[in-house]
Amino acid sequence: MTARGYRRVRGSSAAGASILAAAFSLAAFSLATPALAASGTATSPSVPALTPWPASVEQGQGTLLVASGSAIAIPAGDADAAAAAKLLADHVKRASGLVLAAAESASPAAPVRFERDAGIAGAEAYRLRITPKGAVISASAKSGFVYGAMTLLQLLTPHAGADGKAVSVPVLTIQDSPRFSWRGVMVDPSRHFQPIESVYAIVDRMVEVKLNTLHFHLADDQGWRFEVKRYPELTRIGAWRLPPDTGGGPGPKHGGFYTQEQLKALVAYAAERGITVVPEIDLPGHAQALVASYPEFGVLGDRPAVSHDWGVNPWLFNPNDAGMTFVRNVLDELMAVFPSQFIHVGGDEAVKDQWERSPEVQSQMRKLGIKTENEMQSWMIDRFGEYLAQHGRRLIGWDEILEGGLPASASVMSWRGEQGAVDAANAGHDVVLSPAPNLYLDNLESTLPDEAPGRISIQTMEAVYRYDPMPKGIDAAKAKHVLGVQGNAWSEYIVTPWQLQHKLFPRVGAIAETAWSPQVAGEKDYPGFLARLTPQIRRWKQGGFEVSDSAFGVAFTPTQTRGAQLEATRIGMSLGNQAAYGTIRYTLDGKEPGAKSPAYARPLAVKPGTVVTAASFAPDGTRLSAPRRYDTARETLLTSTASMLAACPRGAQGLRVPLSADATSNGPAYNVNIFDTCQADDHAPLAHAKSITVSVARLPRNYGLAHDASALIGHIAVTTHGELVISAGCRAAEKAADRKQKEHAPMPGATVLAAFPLPDPETSPQQFTFTANLPDRPELKDEADVCFQFTSPLSDPFYAVEKVVYGEKVK
């Protein structure tokens, strides 16, 4: 999958490179206008704050008062209603401290009642009727009870804080059912293992917004996470890997796996909440952990290590009789644990080099009358689909399974844009829309400098919210084949539960609304959605759950050039947030802003040395974002951090990476172009600089590039381990240079400011600094572009700039 490793970074179109090149420019940040930032935008107070928005809401007059100790009546012997009532009570208590007591009763006087109604069509449909005398949730099936309970949860907990006070609920009638049957999130514990407890936490938050599918990616090159009792080496060997080396030898092993008992318990827990867990075992590619465990099921007989490289690796599964039997045995155990209708078998990013070079596979293809390796994959997928169908299950795979001809039994999850879904649906196959980059939640959400590592194809919450999973190319008569929509969180840069939660939430709220709510004619109401989502964000945060504030975090944009700031008596800046929502409040004394701090209304002009601290606040006065700071001290203005740097002329920054592959901290993080290790400071204050100090980090070069390895740009090293070459005017020089000059010089024609030999990776620290006095070049002015080109061998780790400090005095 082009978004699965490094290829996800590069995108699927030529336009992607130019978008990524500008992604971390402050100018690319969507700023709120001062008026909007000051006033905020919200739906009418009479509109219930419900996410996702129901199919039908009829509002009445009056309210229902629900106090602590109120009863929940459930029909005698109705286990489904009892489970939903318990779920409601548990979530209400956690969110507000309000205690509800469920008991079997037919009493019409109970403030909350569950009733089974066979006339409600659809297993996930429900009716919620609230009168001044009580709230009644009616459904014909278990999931309907659960979703009715979650809607009432939102009405009962409109505010943050576990104070246990009584709440007034508006009188209304809701008739509700989902737009799509597949409303999913994919979690990938293969690259970085997630403790089972963190998955439970995700399930608890999914149900509150009526998501119903957890796609669990359990096997890949970097780890096999599903216990197979018949093949114990899969977890004894395949569940563990060494980290990539950045010099001085590798660190401790990373890994883990889930026992079948753990997974059965998770499946049962999710099912109680209306959530189906769909497992994925990826074949025939992404099989390096499998082949490391059982080389006899590989192609050429070698035994690789479990991979620590993100991207596309060459090891494939062997589709001979022994290999096919192995997969059927694994599927038997998988089906015994996961009762889901669908079983995901991957099928993505399988480069066929090993099959092309294998006499055995080529012989098998001739015997089967198969002409191409893609057709061979299609044959293999079809056999798996037939086997699953014999057991009452259905196969689903990534859209590459279309390439050799789609087997009749297969459904498609379309990730390489929408074309796979269009082709498959028009051919009569069921599809799930999960396109990159639109719904790849491992992409960064904003350009804020404190964003955790991920892919730099910014997917804002608004972009996720506005995506519609019904491609125009699908014939109207075939629209029924669109099962639904799913957001994916690949874990190359998701190491901790905190990071997983940060990537998923609150953007899954946007996916939930798209997946559940009726299709909207015309423009969606994004400000209205934010107003309804804000209370849900507060519920998600209960108990310390991490929810990203990237959409609301304040960004600072200077109104003067860098040189002008250094010479000014007043420094100007504008403030805004990505969502253009809420009120921005600020302080100038270093203290955190509160609900009574000044509201931002127009660009500020402050004395040099002032620290501006700002945060966004909701219309009700609660804080939407953590405070961010802008320091106007002279030393800060003379410093460029990693997030301020752009790509050099020959590439685009596609990744924001940590210091090590398995780093558990969110920083430091570096924006890099892994194909050419060069970064540019486009606003260098060279007219004020007499010296330069560059902080450098050595990073793991752990990328499986497969057929794209030829895109790497190598440079001739003139010292043992390569150099850091710092040049000014590199963008103009790049345009003027000819091809031969580009092949031999790091920055042909640019003004060289400094050059440093890189230290031996085996004996030097991972982070270090270089300092040099700058040459006296009067023609170099402020806002000059300066490039930092590393020429280390492509076989070694690569380097990135962490920070640049321009000194006003000679060192």
- Identify whether the C-beta of residue 354 lies closer than 8 Å to the C-beta of residue 300: yes
Of the candidates 41, 23, 30, the one whose C-alpha atom is nearest the C-alpha of residue 575 is 30
Question: What tokens appear for 465 in the block?
Answer: 């919210």
Phi/psi at 430 (5° precision): -70, 145
SS3 465: helix
Burial call 723-747: b when 16+ CB within 10 Å, e when fewer: bbbbbbbbbebbeebeeeebeebbb
222 Rama class: left (phi>0) / alpha (psi -120 to 50) / beta: alpha
d(Cα 506, Cα 462) in Å, to the nearest integer? 11
d(Cα 489, Cα 269) in Å, to the nearest integer? 21
Q: Does the CA dihedral 714-717-722-726 come out positive or negative?
A: negative
Of the candidates 330, 370, 363, 367, the one whose C-alpha atom is nearest the C-alpha of residue 346 is 330
Residues 6+ apart with CB under 8 A from 362: 355, 356
The residue assigned the tokens 């909007």 is 36
Q: Does the CA dihedral 696-700-706-709 come out positive or negative?
A: positive
Residues designated catalytic:
220, 286, 349
Phi/psi at 407 (5° precision): -60, 145
Residues 6+ apart with CB under 8 A from 546: 497, 498, 501, 502, 505
Q: How far is CA 281 from the centre of its chain?
A: 21
Question: What tokens appear for 241 in the block?
Answer: 């890997």
d(Cα 64, Cα 132) in Å, to the nearest integer? 4
Burial class (CB in 10 A: 0-12, 13-18, 19+), 781: middle
Question: What tokens appear for 508 in the block?
Answer: 């899954």
d(Cα 312, Cα 7) in Å, to the nearest integer? 8
